[in-house]
Structure 1
Amino acid sequence: MRFLIAFSALLAYASASAILAPYALGINAGDAQAAAINHNVAAQDTARAIGEGQLRAAEAAVQYNTEAVRQAAETNRDIHENAYWNGVAASQNVVAAAQSQAAALSGIAAARAGHWAGVAPVGVAPLGVAPYGIAPYGLGLGHGLAHW
């Protein structure tokens, strides 16, 4: 705003000097009037150029801010999208780990069941020789109880 006031004062001084110059130098009235018109046109052109420059600067600032907001929104979207897919992958990893654990436990149970298949159940084998050694009361003590 101070610039515009100073610019207006400068224009006024230039216009006044153009108007008063003919009296000091003895220039005719038509030339003085033409000079005054030229100065007024130049002042208007300068003022218009300043206004257009300010308008272009304002438009550039708006474009810059718009682009900055768009980039921030895109970055934010990317961060949330990556977080979502990382969460999905983590959930799938947990499910896969649980399935692996269930399969391992099932395999262990099947192996243990197969391990005990050769041992006589309680009360079936009388005292005496059973697979893998002596089996009191039908239990093959040397066969697998130590593993449990």
Structure 2
Amino acid sequence: MRFLIAFVALLGYASASAILAPLVYGANAGDVQAAAIDAAVVAQDHTRAAVEGQARAAEAAIQYNTEAARQVAESNRDLHENAYWNGVAATQNYVAAAQSQAAAVNGAAAAVRAAHVAAAPLAYAGWNAPLAYAGYGVHGLGYNGLAYHGW
């Protein structure tokens, strides 16, 4: 037990001498220079860490802005693409409507032609004889040179 007490006392004395030695004996030039170098290195490390932090923040801002610009461009492209295809669909609808109108007009014309063809047997009775021999064929009811020509 005495040994343990002596060991603790010796350990306490060594600790106190390491803490109190610079105050009692004074600092030598080498220790002061080493402390100044250590302080300069710590300051450089803090400065470097701050600059690297700013660089990472700037890079993150650039990436965020780049991604935002890409998303805006993609949205604009989608809007323009949709507008283009909507225009194509509208044009196709207009064409289909025009074709429907043309078909309706052709149907009406076919009905008129059918009515004229139904009256064609009268042409055989001699009403359109000059037209029949002129190369038009006998296709309709004609009087005073009016006739339907079905070529």
**Does TM, normalized by the shorter one, top 0.5?**
yes
- What is the CA–CA distance in structure 1 between the aligned matches of 2:21 and 2:28, rounded to whole Å? 7
Please report how far the alpha carbon of residue 23 of structure 1 lies from its aligned counterpart in structure 2 after TM superposition. 3.2
Structure 1 pair 115–37 and aligned structure 2 pair: CA distance change class (3 A): same
Counterpart for residue 57 of structure 2: 58
Structure 1 pair 54–22 and aligned structure 2 pair: CA distance change class (3 A): farther
1:115 partner amino acid = A
The yes-or-no answer on 1:98 pairing with 2:91 is no
The yes-or-no answer on 1:86 pairing with 2:85 is yes
Counterpart for residue 47 of structure 2: 48
Q: CA RMSD in A?
A: 2.5
Please report how far the alpha carbon of residue 21 of structure 1 lies from its aligned counterpart in structure 2 after TM superposition. 9.6
- What is the CA–CA distance in structure 2 between the aligned matches of 1:59 and 1:74, rounded to whole Å? 22
Deviations 1:112-131 (A, max 9, x none): 111101445xxxxxxxx969
Moved over 3 A (4+): 20-24
Please report how far the alpha carbon of residue 83 of structure 1 lies from its aligned counterpart in structure 2 after TM superposition. 1.2
- Which consecutive residues of structure 1, in runs of 5 or more, have no partner in the other structure? 1-19, 121-128, 132-148
Counterpart for residue 35 of structure 1: 34
Counterpart for residue 77 of structure 1: 76
- What is the CA–CA distance in structure 1 between the aligned matches of 2:122 and 2:90, rounded to whole Å? 50
Deviations 1:17-68 (A, max 9, x none): xxx69839x8962111211110111011100111011111101110111011
2:32 partner amino acid = Q
Structure 1 pair 104–27 and aligned structure 2 pair: CA distance change class (3 A): same
- What is the CA–CA distance in structure 2 between the aligned matches of 1:54 and 1:21, rounded to whole Å? 39
Counterpart for residue 5 of structure 1: none
Structure 1 pair 52–87 and aligned structure 2 pair: CA distance change class (3 A): same
Structure label with greater radius of gyration: 2
**TM-score normalised by length of structure 2:** 0.60
- What is the CA–CA distance in structure 1 between the aligned matches of 2:77 and 2:110, rounded to whole Å? 49
- What is the CA–CA distance in structure 2 between the aligned matches of 1:83 and 1:73, rounded to whole Å? 15
State the number of aligned residues: 103
Counterpart for residue 112 of structure 1: 111
Deviations 1:85-126 (A, max 9, x none): 111111101100011101111111111111101445xxxxxx
- What is the CA–CA distance in structure 1 between the aligned matches of 2:76 and 2:30, rounded to whole Å? 68
1:48 partner amino acid = T
